[in-house]
Chain A
Amino acid sequence: MTGTNGNGSNGNGNGGTSVGTSRVKQGLAQMLKGGVIMDVMSVEQAKIAEAAGAVAVMALERIPADIRRDGGVARMSDPALIMEIKNAVTIPVMAKARIGHFVEAQILEACEIDYIDESEVLTMADDIHHIDKTKFNAPFVCGCRNIGEALRRIAEGASMLRTKGEAGTGNIVEAVRHARTVQAEIRRLASLPKDELFVAAKELRCPYELVKEVADKGKLPVVNFAAGGVATPADAALMMQLGLDGVFVGSGIFKSANPEARARAIVQAVTHYNDPKVLMDVSTGLGPAMVGISDIKGDPVNFRDREGGMQQYDGRVPPKKELHGNTEVQMYGSSWAN
């Protein structure tokens, strides 16, 4: 499936053509702003998503809710599925690679995927290092809980960010926490005197240059989407009003009773996020949303705290639930436990 149009073949006869520049990679994310990116597991679902007005689809073998429920090692999707979906829709197609698994990313780039999500929802392949994303022509999106994590990912070459939320729960609380945390930290950096930014960078464990850029501009250098727990049009509009640039919806659509209607409603809600009348209209009569998980603290699966080089077992083991072996929270601790 290698096209006639490989990297760098454009602009024959003209000098100065360059592919894979950060402007081009970040630019696609800018084009997706104000849009909804939907997780799909088949060609049929991809077509439903496109027809509903999705700006991109994420091709997956299992959506996060199923990964949570079934467990097992979650890996990159079969390229056959990705190519099938890529051929079925005209909108950009994204796919997930495991954290640190740069070969999965190489394979996805060979598939001419439009965006790679180095995702905490898949099982980590490297618990210390993330992928060196600067090496790729394909752009990357990564999750973040706070400004330090956001800037670490940008330093590694991410062209787009999203909140981590807690995928597959249908519960927006973590996404809201991450969105507000990042914004509060940006406001704090912007208010610091210049000579305090060096220590701020040290404390945030990320490069000073990026800290300074955020402090100067008062915003992240790349687009930041909401993800992890969006289940209703109201959830999507909430994240937009909180200042995010767009929305990923994973399990929320195809785990609900009426995916077509819900997908269309969420698309409209993201465009008209400031218009409660439109939001009322599109929220009406959608049927049951996904059931979801209300007790994120007590759930044995914790996607959000997966980050390379950041996991420490601090000896505080919370009371054990009915499980076999320690949960990830018990082993690594949680953002809730602090």
Chain B
Amino acid sequence: MTSRTEEGEEEKLLVGVLALQGAFEEHQTCLEAVGCNTKQVRTPTDLEGLDGLVLPGGESTAMGLIGTGGGNGKQNMWSALQEFSARKPTWGTCAGMILLAERCVGASAVIEDGQALVGGMDMLVCRNYFGSQVSSFEMPTKFFDDPNPFPGVFIRAPAILSVNQADQATAKDGSSGIQVLAKVVATPCRQAAVVLHELEQKLAKGEQVVVMGVVDALDRTEDETSHQQHIDFKQVTTNNSNTSTKPSLVLPGAANGTNAREVICAVKRNNLLCTAFHPELTDDYRWHQYFVDMVQDHAKKEQKEQK
């Protein structure tokens, strides 16, 4: 909150918002409220000159399909996004968080290899963890050590089931490794519960099922217990090459003997920030300010390196 005003007004940061689909205008409003210039990003050339990027909420499947060309792909947005998020501050909210995940489970009956992901954050995300729209909710969430909680708006939201434990262990000063910033206790929806159960069974057998899983939703029947064996849980290797180090996967445990589990809803790793909820739908700009500070620090660091 400090550095930007000290720097003076002449050099405003330019933060892009991926505008393939979703709530990109809301992010622009928030970012402008904390003193940034913003730009809508639809093509790889739009990424030039940006100090940071926000992947907004929306439908991750649709974004993936539009971004990867949707069949008539002349301009592959995806590789450009991967290249950008590898070196510059990038923040994913909700659907954007799914895009930044290395691994994603949840029903995706359409795309053979599941959701198209940009990747970068070594975590396992469960799409639509909380269920359909009637179960979307608002809940106060933790914002660092601030006694004032942040109004979390969860809309058909994903949840982070686990982050790379080995990576997390190295996170001490915040310079590297995954930091877990906030958690919520919540019951998974029926579909998510099935996926979790399946994952647990695989883990019990000692399998490393941390690659992208595809569950054909049509294989599901009414009874949750009777059809677990029918689930076609394909194992597909991620498109990223750094899967040689197999991370250990620990699923969140059941809390208080209920079906509820404690899942992660905000993480940070180096230049990447992910939130499962929607700060852009509130008039509380603390998360936007936090991200802009990340962008500011990164821009400063880059300037020093150039000198």
Contact = CB atoms under 8 A, between A and B. Distances in A.
Interface stretch (A17-25, A165-173, A315-323, A326-334): A17-25
A52 B59 contact: no
B106 A90 contact: yes
A14 B217 contact: no
Nearest to B220: A87
Contacts of B204: none
A16 B62 contact: no
Given A31-B94, A109-B134, A12 B156 contact: no
Contact of B139 (A10, A86, A115): A10
Interface residues of A, number: 66
B212 interface: no
Contact of B135 (A9, A53, A55, A113): A9
Interface string A1-33: 101111111111111111111011101101111
A14 B185 contact: yes
A314 B281 CA distance: 45
A120 interface: no
A139 B107 CA distance: 23
A34 B26 CA distance: 12
Given A10-B137, A17-B139, A53 B255 contact: no
Interface string B18-51: 0111111110000000000000001000000000
A89 B217 CA distance: 7
Interface stretch (A62-70, A207-215, A265-273, A302-310): A265-273
Q: Is the interface of A mostly helix, strand, loop or mixed?
A: loop
B79 interface: no
B133 A139 contact: yes
A265 B133 CA distance: 28
Interface residues of B, number: 68
Contacts of B127: 90
A152 interface: no
Contact of B278 (A18, A27, A265): A27
Interface string A24-47: 110110111111000000010001
B92 interface: no
Contact of B134 (A14, A19, A87, A261): A19
Contact of A47 (B19, B59, B110, B184): B110
B303 interface: no
Contacts of A282: 72
Contact of A16 (B107, B139, B222): B139
A315 B46 CA distance: 58
Interface in B244-286: 255-256, 258-260, 278, 281-282
A91 B63 CA distance: 11
A232 to B, nearest CB: 15
A271 B138 contact: no
A266 to B, nearest CB: 10
B81 interface: no
Contacts of B21: 33-35, 55, 270-271
A137 B218 contact: no
A27 B58 contact: no
Nearest to B68: A53
Contacts of B177: none
A31 B59 CA distance: 7
Contacts of A55: 21, 58-59, 62
Contacts, number: 217
A51 interface: yes
A30 B58 CA distance: 8
Contact of A51 (B65, B74, B140): B65
A264 interface: yes
B134 A12 contact: no
Contacts of B20: 34, 271
Interface string A186-219: 0000000000000000000000000000000000
Interface string B120-138: 0000000110111111111
A87 B190 contact: no
Interface string A73-102: 000000000000011111110000000000
Interface string A96-129: 0000000000000100111100000000000000
B138 A114 contact: no
A174 interface: no
Most buried by A among B110, B130, B217, B220: B110
Given A30-B57, A31-B59, A86-B132, 16 more contacts: A5-B131, A7-B135, A10-B186, A14-B185, A16-B149, A24-B155, A28-B136, A34-B24, A34-B58, A35-B21, A35-B22, A53-B66, A90-B107, A92-B133, A113-B132, A271-B19
Interface of A: 1, 3-21, 23-25, 27-28, 30-35, 43, 47, 50-56, 86-92, 109, 112-115, 137-139, 261, 264-265, 267-268, 270-272, 275, 281-282
15 contacts: A4-B224, A11-B139, A14-B140, A16-B140, A21-B137, A23-B138, A24-B138, A30-B281, A34-B21, A43-B218, A55-B59, A112-B134, A113-B132, A268-B72, A281-B74
* 8 tightest Cβ-Cβ pairs between the two chains A and B: A3-B190, A53-B65, A114-B133, A12-B260, A5-B189, A5-B131, A55-B59, A34-B21
